[in-house]
A and B are shown apart, each in its own frame.
Chain A
């Protein structure tokens, strides 16, 4: 009777067959038990090894050198390299307006770059994530293709665009917007163009991945409840992508603060930033310790600014979740 009932419900499963399956299954599970525990230990060990390797790497090749750097900037040595005592004298030459202006300029450059990357990158990421459709991956791929080519090639490509008889000037002349070619190269403008061009993907990628996971129904729910586009952006979209925006801002802001290749090649000799000064001092004769001191000083400034940016985001997210 029982066997018959079973057949009637599913129509296919027979009791005898079900029994057979249970027998087949029970044996391997028993033998597997021992293996599983050994495998588990191996797995956790392996994970530990894999996980700890980069940490050790970081300590040896980043934190220890950083400490050496800080120590060097504070140490006075004789000409033969012997330790004499602690000193702040390497910092003295830096306490003049020229260097402080350079640090200030670097802040300006990285902030403007970050800001431009954000206002260009967010709509771009939004477009790719929500309107990309089947082309989504292709568009993302196109964004990353420039990374495949050599960096110096990029810069030369931009030379052709920005030079006196280059693409941009010709275009503007043809459109009748200007009467004589403008001076683009070797200016803050060309530096900014190149900076934004290079750092844009670092902003787009984290925001894109956050928007891709974003449920578009939330936007519709917001419109449905009476919010217009601006209110929806402000109350739903930005709060929910805030952490990705922060990640993007850090990814652009930190490296662009120390960037020295782009200003060096695109900025001419009037555009001097932290990176250029450091390379000049460290490569120069006898100026090594001052260069190191400058590095320490600018790193300190960067850390302080990061602290404030982080605080700002904490304040933002608190404000967003605190009140609707």
Chain B
């Protein structure tokens, strides 16, 4: 099977349930052999999209192609697409071995072939000591590994993962994410990873799509593109934290952005050109909290500076999160790396601080 066969193309997919439009004319191309993440808020229809690809639900209109073959009307058990379900859906009456062997046993493959394949895979997944255990006797991480092993034993063209790490604790999640990336590198199967957790999506994805509440794809791109250059306020707010300023853009010899009651800030001309924003409309400027420098003394060499009063401080270990009250009553979020054991200045509550950023580090958004 050629690599090309593993790409998925959705064309004008529409789906409603109980009178609610869940997916509204979604078109999406998932390239072959990529780790693709589908990120969206809860209830945005991303799980429905995954179930449509798996064949567990039927389309209202549009079509789904695997490679160049239309699979829209193929039933789930005939598609070479497997799912790692949320909460795993392991068969409780079967032990680890039989769970993993299930899809091979269904095809009535010879016993020794099944045994060879299953044991090899279980060994690679460090599950070979647990083959006689029932799912209920396993830890969350082990169950998750069994679920993945069960889904990939039959070498699917595409592996769909539906929030596979949602039930696990943070440390384990980080570890399993790395394992998933390594696994995908080895298999070269197309992975589609559905999650509402931006950290997971940014970590694993080669490319990712953001879904919004209207059942549309808001943006597609690499994690870096999505994070650094969101194309809408929704994406900017949903992926990571950001500070949103509403104001108007003026085009003098240099573009300037004016926020009422706060001030005027210079903007890099290339950002404006890229976006082709209408200067007459209200515009939104977004600045990521970590792109702002905070200090009690004025700092030179920054294109923009604001002042404010520190209203809250949350120490997170590797970084400190500040909330600063600005003159227009807006609260600005700032992240600062804790680079030194003994910082030269300590910022405390109610301190007057200077907030500085470079003009290249902002994003202009419509609406």
Contact = CB atoms under 8 A, between A and B. Distances in A.
Interface stretch (B89-97, B274-282, B299-307): B89-97
Contacts of A225: 77, 82, 102-103, 106, 150-151, 154
B76 interface: yes
Contacts of A97: none
Contacts of B85: 217, 220-221
Closest 5 CB pairs of A and B: A324-B98, A225-B103, A217-B89, A8-B312, A221-B89
A220 B314 contact: no
Interface string A1-35: 00011001101000000000000000000000000
Contact of A224 (B56, B101, B107, B312): B56
A8 B313 contact: yes
Interface in A177-223: 215, 217-218, 220-223
A9 B311 CA distance: 11
Contacts of B87: 217
A8 B349 contact: yes
Interface stretch (A99-107, A226-234, A283-291): A226-234
Nearest to B95: A321
A139 interface: no
Contacts of B91: 218, 221-222, 236
B313 A227 contact: no
A321 B82 contact: no
Interface in A64-80: none
- Interface of chain A, helix or strand or loop or mixed? helix
Nearest to A5: B313
Which of B76, B95, B154, B313 has the most A CB atoms < 10 Å from its CB?
A: B76
Given A221-B83, A321-B94, A324-B94, A227 B77 contact: yes
Given A217-B89, A224-B54, A9 B314 contact: yes
A9 B151 CA distance: 42
A239 interface: yes
Contacts of B101: 324
B75 interface: yes
- Interface of chain B, helix or strand or loop or mixed? mixed
Q: How big is chain B's contact interface, by range?
A: 20 to 34
Contacts of A224: 54-56, 76-77, 81-83, 151
A227 B82 CA distance: 12
Contacts of B312: 8, 11
Given A223-B56, A240-B93, 6 more contacts: A218-B89, A220-B89, A224-B82, A226-B77, A226-B154, A227-B77
Nearest to B18: A133
Contacts of A94: none
A320 interface: yes
Which of A223, A228, A239, A320 has the most B CB atoms < 10 Å from its CB?
A: A223
B105 interface: yes
Contact of A226 (B90, B92, B107, B314): B107
Interface string A271-304: 0000000000000000000000000000000000
A223 B75 contact: yes
Contacts of A236: 91
A9 B320 CA distance: 12
A226 B83 CA distance: 11
Which of B77, B101, B312 has the most A CB atoms < 10 Å from its CB?
A: B77
Contacts of A227: 77, 102-103, 106
A182 to B, nearest CB: 43
Contact of A239 (B76, B93, B103, B154): B93
B10 to A, nearest CB: 18
B82 A4 contact: no
Interface in B170-225: none
Which of B82, B83, B93 has the most A CB atoms < 10 Å from its CB?
A: B93
Contacts of A320: 93
Contacts of B102: 222, 225, 227, 235, 324
B103 A226 contact: yes
A236 B92 CA distance: 9
11 contacts: A8-B314, A215-B89, A221-B91, A223-B55, A224-B76, A226-B107, A227-B106, A231-B106, A240-B93, A320-B93, A324-B105
Contacts of A218: 89, 91-92
Nearest to A7: B312
A9 B349 CA distance: 13
Contacts of A239: 93
A181 B163 CA distance: 63
Contacts of A240: 92-93
A231 B56 CA distance: 17
Given A8-B314, A217-B87, A223 B77 contact: yes
Contacts of B98: 323-324
Contacts of A231: 106
Nearest to A321: B93
B55 to A, nearest CB: 8
A218 B102 CA distance: 12
Contacts of B349: 4, 8
A10 to B, nearest CB: 10
A222 B94 CA distance: 12
A215 B88 CA distance: 11
A221 B103 CA distance: 10
A103 B90 CA distance: 46
Contacts of B56: 220, 223-224
A243 to B, nearest CB: 11
Contacts of A323: 98
Interface in A237-271: 239-240
A223 B76 contact: yes
Nearest to A322: B98
Interface string A85-107: 00000000000000000000000
B141 to A, nearest CB: 19
A228 B107 CA distance: 10
Contacts of B105: 324
A320 B94 CA distance: 8
Contacts of A215: 89
Nearest to B323: A8
